[in-house]
Structure 1
C-alpha cells in the first residue's frame, strides 16, 4: 500500500497578547510547515530549520531579512526540534519585546497541542 501524501492545510488564529492583536498563519505540508506570526500583514523575514542526524541542534538559515534579527531562526530551530519536521518561520514583531515573544511561543505551543494535525 502506498502512503497517502498530505495535502497543504491552512490554519489561522489570532490572540490578544500584551495589548496587541497577534495573527498566526500555519500552512501544513507533508513533512513540514510554514508559520507566519505578525502584528500586521508583512513578510519582512523568513527562516528555515530542519533536523540533522549529525547534530542535536537543528540546522537553520535566514532566507529573507535582516541577519542581525535571529528571532525567526531561533523559533524555527525550536519548532523543528520539537516536531522533527522542516519548519519555515517568519516572525514579524518588534525584536526588542522579549515578553511578547515568550507569550507568542506559549500560544503556538497551545495551538500545536490542540491541533497537532495542522502543524
Structure 2
C-alpha cells in the first residue's frame, strides 16, 4: 500500500506498509519515503520507543549514526540504520520496536526489509 500524504500521486512524502510473520510473531513495517531518505518503523505493537538516524559521510565509509530516542544499550536501531544508509546512500531513520524473543530475529527482520527493497525500490 502506498499513498502520498498530500493526496497527490507524487508527493514529498509517500507511505508504504508491509508485514511478515517472523518467528511466530506478526511484524509490521511502515516506510515513509522522504525527499532525501526514508523513515522505517518496525513494530509488533503500536509503540515508538526507539529512533536512530544514520547519514553517509564523505570522510568515512561507515555512515554516521545517532540514537535519538530509546535505550542506549540497544544498538539494533543504530546498526540497522547504518547498514541501510550504506546500502541506499540515503539518510535513514529507524524505529525498531520488537521484543527480543530470539537472537536471530534482527537478522530475519533485516532480510525481510532487503527483500522488500528489492521488490519495491521506489518506495524507499
TM-score bucket (shorter structure): over 0.9
Give secondary structure in 2 for the equivalent of 1:98: coil
Unaligned ranges ≥5, structure 1:
none
Deviation string, structure 1 residues 32-71 (Cα, Å, up to 9, x no partner): 0000001100000000000000000000000001101110
TM-score normalised by the chain length of structure 1: 0.92
Mapped to 2, the partners of 1:97 and 1:74 lie a distance apart of: 17
d(CA) in 2 for partners of 1:52, 1:96: 34
Gaps of 5+ in 2: 1-9
Tell me the matched-pair count.
Answer: 115
Alignment partners' CA distance in 2, 1:96 and 1:86: 29
Q: How does 1:86-101 map to 2 (within 5 A)?
A: 86-95=91-100, 97-101=102-106
Partner-residue secondary structure (3-state), 1:44: coil
How far apart are 1:96 and its partner, in Å? 5.9
2:5 matched residue in structure 1: none
Cα RMSD (Å): 1.3
CA distance in 1, matches of 2:36, 2:96: 21
- Aligned counterpart for 1:43 among listed residues 23, 44, 48: 48
4+ residue segments displaced more than 6 Å: none
TM-score (norm 2): 0.89
The Cα shift of 1:95 comes to: 3.9
